[in-house]
Amino acid sequence: MTDDTGRRKVYIVDGSRTPQLKSRGKVGPFTAGDLAVAAARPLLLRHTFPLDALDEVILGCIMPGEREANVGRVVALRLGIPQSVPAWTVQRNCASGMQSVDSAYKNIRNGDADLILAGGAESMSHAPVLFNHTMVNWLGELMRSRSIGQKLKTILKLRGRHFKPVIALLHGLTDDTVGLNMGETAEVIASKFNISRREMDEFAMNSHHRLAHALDAGYLDEIEVLYDDKGNFYDHDDGMRADSNMESLAKLRPAFDKKYGKVTAGNSAQITDGAAWLLLASEDAVKKYQLPVIASITDTQWAGLDPAVMGMGPVHAMTPIMQRHGLGIDDIDYWEINEAFATQVLGCIRAWNQDDYCADNLGLDKAMGEIPYERLNIDGGGVSLGHPVGASGARILLHLCKVLQRKQARRGMASLCIGGGQGGAMLIHNEAL
């Protein structure tokens, strides 16, 4: 089946993810590759197509392990996918998982592929702690020392400053072009849209409560159980706080602007490890391998904006899609906007509801309107279950498919802000309706 432009229709036929495991100041039990393998194996086992039917494997990841260069290829081979199937890794910061799906979508749409495994993985607890340049230079000098005397002379140069670590995660979450880390950009949005600390904490509390309800109700059946090498198992997103309340959240101190800030650890996405996959197919592949269909992809969009307000990326990416298809707020049944920060999602809601912002920044004649909270992130989001950066784009797409199925709803929109000042969005359709 093709659309009016002659492009082929692309289906999401299945998906799976790991639980998202909170980093608690220590290295977690799984690398990004481990997580990706654990999420993909049961997904592939559910289907009867031969693994060499896959045209490619695409994985989004920002910080693969030191032994996982081109982690997409490493994972594909660990899964037993034939060597003849190409596999590659993409990096678009917070939207790496969505970028992998978008790349798969366009390759199938354009007739270059029929069946692709696409997703994202991130083990943020494994983010490297590096030697600083002073230590690297000292080690180089030590390696060049030949005699015992030279080595002793070099050793005596060792000072405390050599041991100051470079924490990759902190640097990775900082935009050097504007000199702000991601939390500071969230503070900019809070100020710009006059979002109160109470509003942010209430949003965070509700994210936890929604996730707890979804878990109790069995709405998270996309999760595959993880097992570590010590016999422990992990079957749910372990950062969830079902008892979250306004009183406890109010006690938390600002994390970024210590004196005047509103953004805290409690109303920000948790640092977590996780992976998610989607299996995408053409109509030919669906028929040939008798695959189920859970959704189709209608359109995608990427947008750029000021890195200082990177959290506004979703409205910049979603707006062109809405315009191309002549859609209004009420035409979208459910929304997934990644919760990097509570204030970032609230800022997007406010921006779309303001005539001035829409006219000055989005090229609209008037406000788009307000996204109903009862149709947004209805089973929680990044604040409650975490944001494993490379995986989140794939996770929100997968869960949106599940929501549309459960609610017997037609259209869904998934979107993320992206560090560095970008936004990504994808419009999907429930093929059962």
pLDDT tens profile 6-41: 789 999 999 999 999 998 878 889 999 999 999 999
In order of 68, 85, 145, 367, 427, the CA distances from 312 in angstroms are 32, 38, 53, 15, 18
One-letter amino acid at 403 equals: V
Total structural domains in the chain?
A: 1
Q: Is residue 292 part of a domain?
A: no
In order of 124, 340, 365, the CA distances from 86 in angstroms are 26, 32, 46
DSSP 3-state of 276: strand
What pTM value is reported for the model? Answer: 0.93
Per-residue b/e over 95-125, b at no fewer than 16 CB within 10 Å? bbbbbbbbbbbebbbeeebbbbbbbbbbbbb
- Cβ neighbours around 156 below 10 Å, total: 8
Angle of CA points 72, 75, 80, to nearest 5°:
130
Q: Is residue 265 part of a domain?
A: no
The rounded Cα 286 to chain-centroid distance in angstroms is: 27
Identified catalytic residue from 61, 348, 358, 417: 417
pLDDT digits (tens, 9 = 90+) for 168-211: 666 666 777 888 888 899 999 999 999 999 999 999 999 999 99
Q: Is residue 332 part of a domain?
A: yes
Best CA proximity match to 329, nearest among 348, 342, 306, 356: 348
Cβ atoms of 21 and 238 within 8 Å: the answer is: yes
DSSP 3-state of 402: helix
pLDDT digits (tens, 9 = 90+) for 344-367: 999 999 999 999 999 999 999 999
Best CA proximity match to 151, nearest among 162, 143, 159: 143
Q: Is residue 167 part of a domain?
A: no
The rounded Cα 353 to chain-centroid distance in angstroms is: 25
| H or E element, residue 354 | none
Sign of CA dihedral 104, 108, 112, 117: positive
One-letter amino acid at 366 equals: K
Identified catalytic residue from 61, 94, 348, 401: 94
Q: Is residue 245 part of a domain?
A: no
Q: Are strands 21-22 and 129-130 parallel, antiparallel or unpaired?
A: unpaired
Residue 267: both structure tokens together: 């109303």
One-letter amino acid at 29 equals: P
Domain holding 351, by residue range, is: 175-218+299-429
Stated length of the chain: 433
The beta strand positions in 206-253, using DSSP E, are: 226-227, 233-234
Q: What is the CATH number of the domain that holds 367?
A: 3.40.47.10
Q: Is residue 408 part of a domain?
A: yes
Q: At what angle do helices 96-109 and 392-407 cross, to 10 degrees?
A: 70
Residue 94: active-site member: yes
Summarize the confidence of residues 157-166 as an average pLDDT: 88
Cβ atoms of 405 and 422 within 8 Å: the answer is: no
CA distance 373 to 211: 15
Q: Is residue 195 part of a domain?
A: yes
To the nearest whole number, what is the mean pLDDT of the chain? 94
Residue 181: predicted pLDDT: 84
Residue 146: both structure tokens together: 């030949």
The rounded Cα 101 to chain-centroid distance in angstroms is: 12
Q: Is residue 164 part of a domain?
A: no
DSSP 3-state of 20: coil
Residue 65: predicted pLDDT: 83
CA distance 396 to 20: 13
How much of the chain exceeds pLDDT 90, in percent? Answer: 83
Q: Is the pLDDT of residue 103 over 90?
A: yes
Cβ atoms of 318 and 425 within 8 Å: the answer is: yes
pLDDT digits (tens, 9 = 90+) for 243-279: 999 999 999 999 888 888 999 999 999 999 999 999 9
Summarize the confidence of residues 207-230 as an average pLDDT: 96
